[in-house]
Amino acid sequence: ESAKKFMGNMEYSIDFKGDIYEQEIGGKTFYCMDVVNHYGGTDILQSYYATIIKSFAFTFVTTYVTDDQKAAVQTAIDQIEFQ
């Protein structure tokens, strides 16, 4: 929720898509937040992922504009494995 507050104060427009949700990735539960950045007439879609692994925060962000890019990113996420 603090990330939403911080990001909502930036100079370009951000819309949050829905609530924070859980997603299983490589056997780990990630908490995810989807946003749309409206910048220069383009909608830039991002998904933020976060989990705790061995007492450390592990986060990553995916960014895409087209459905093809979204599919390519999801294919990469589906291949993530943790040891």
Residue 56 contacts by C-beta under 8 Å, 6 or more apart in sequence? none
Tokens of 40: 């220069």
Question: Does residue 83 have a pLDDT over 90?
Answer: no
Write down the pLDDT at residue 7.
61
State which amino acid sits at residue 45.
L
For residue 56, give Cα distances in angstroms to 23, 59, 71, 79. 18, 10, 29, 22
12-16, 53-57, 62-66, 67-71: least confident range: 12-16
Question: Does residue 69 have a pLDDT over 90?
Answer: yes
Tokens of 33: 């937040």
The pLDDT tens digits of the residues spanning 2-39 come to 766 666 555 678 899 999 999 999 999 999 999 999 98
